Structure 1
Amino acid sequence: METTPLSEVLAGHRFFHSLDPAYREVIAGCAGQERFQPGSFLFREGEPADRFYAVRSGRVALEMAAPGVGAMIIDTAEAGEVVGVSWLFVPYRWQFDARAVEPVGAIGFDAVCLREKADADPRLGYALMKLFAEVLIRRMQSARVRLLDLYGDGRSGTPADRVRG
């Protein structure tokens, strides 16, 4: 069992490395170690977004249900990354599924606890928002690349139409 204080564990996590050490100490009070086996869900679309996870080991697939296709992976997260941004935005519901692809070790954060701390200290809230804005931008860029892969050179029609082409 790991005895390193969570604030120190956070200091070694790429996502939190630039966060002021005092803020890492504050948010560590909202966190705990968690493990997920392959195939298990960290969260499911539509459920309350009451946590987010800093991945320490393993890989997590972010998925969405596509009619007629089933689960589509829209992005993945590995050690040093985080999953879950819906906890920041009303109505606090997950927009995607997050599923462990490999055994995952993560730090889970209580969203209500973090929002209360961020509301009480706007500087902390701003620091967290800047970190999560980077995640949102990266995920949008990833989605853009996936759409370009899916729809190719931008010609009109469906991918199936272009194959028949």
Structure 2
Amino acid sequence: MSPIAHAIMNSELFADLSPRQAQSLDRLAEHVRFKKGAVLFSAGEPAERLYVVLEGTVELRMPVPGWWGIDTPHQKMTTARPGQIVGWSALAEPGVYSLTAVASERASAARFEAGALRELMSADPELGNIVRARALSVVSRRLDALAEAMLAQRAVMASQAAAPAYA
């Protein structure tokens, strides 16, 4: 089994697959490398690829509209580490990335073309069901983390507003 196939079998998206299914994915995977600061994809682009991070880290950022009044073009949402995926939008309709993915250090990943991955999922319904269920789990965990971060930010803002002003 190749190192990529081994990493795929241990990733958050593909961990429950059989060795045969992992080998099918290995044939679809392209090993890619990124320099620090490289953009894997941008929010709003068609979601044509899914990545399994193999080495390094990839930051997922949300674009911040200027009217929000925040002095930054983006807000970091989470960081994907080895074994985690970025670009799950490639598995869903309408197939548009909602976040921007940027290598926060030198990184490598297994890259899957969305069309080929969806074809494999259709050809092997068991694989498709496993991947869809695990993708929902990934999305659920990320939404939970986002909700916790928003609540923490609200708590900070509320405590700052309640603090007495000293002259």
TM-score, structure 1 length as denominator?
0.86
Partner of 2:34: 36
Partner of 2:23: 25
CA deviation vs aligned residue, 1:108-145 (integer Å, no higher than 9, x gap) = 11110010111122211101112211211110111011
Unaligned stretches of 5+ residues in structure 2: 163-167
Aligned-pair distance for 1:9?
A: 4.0
Partner of 1:120: 123
Q: Matches of residues 41-120 of structure 1 in structure 2 within 5 Å? A: 41-67=39-65, 68-69=69-70, 70-120=73-123
Q: Are the equivalent residues in 1 in contact too, given 2:5–2:23 (CA < 8 A)?
A: yes
- Residue 163 (str. 1) matches residue 160 (str. 2): yes
Aligned residues: 157
Q: Amino acid of the residue matched to residue 163 of structure 1?
A: Q
Change in 2 beyond 3 A, CA 1:124/1:11: closer
Aligned-pair distance for 1:162?
A: 5.4
Q: Amino acid of the residue matched to residue 116 of structure 1?
A: E
Q: Are the equivalent residues in 1 in contact too, given 2:57–2:105 (CA < 8 A)?
A: yes
Partner of 1:137: 140
Q: Are the equivalent residues in 1 in contact too, given 2:12–2:138 (CA < 8 A)?
A: no
TM-score, structure 2 length as denominator?
0.85
The CA RMSD over aligned residues, in Å, is 2.0
Task: Identify which range, 13-22 or 107-116, moves more after superposition.
Answer: 13-22
Structure with greater helix share of residues? 2
Change in 2 beyond 3 A, CA 1:16/1:120: closer
Equivalent-residue separation in structure 2 for 1:22 and 1:4 (angstroms):
12
Unaligned stretches of 5+ residues in structure 1: 154-158
Change in 2 beyond 3 A, CA 1:76/1:44: same
CA deviation vs aligned residue, 1:3-43 (integer Å, no higher than 9, x gap) = 93642342354643332111111122221101111111111
CA deviation vs aligned residue, 1:66-115 (integer Å, no higher than 9, x gap) = 12332101111111111111011112110110111111111111110010
Equivalent-residue separation in structure 1 for 2:6 and 2:64 (angstroms):
40
Determine what percentage of the aligned residue pairs are the same residue: 31
User: More relative contact order in 1 or in 2 (CA 8 Å, sep 6+)?
Assistant: 2
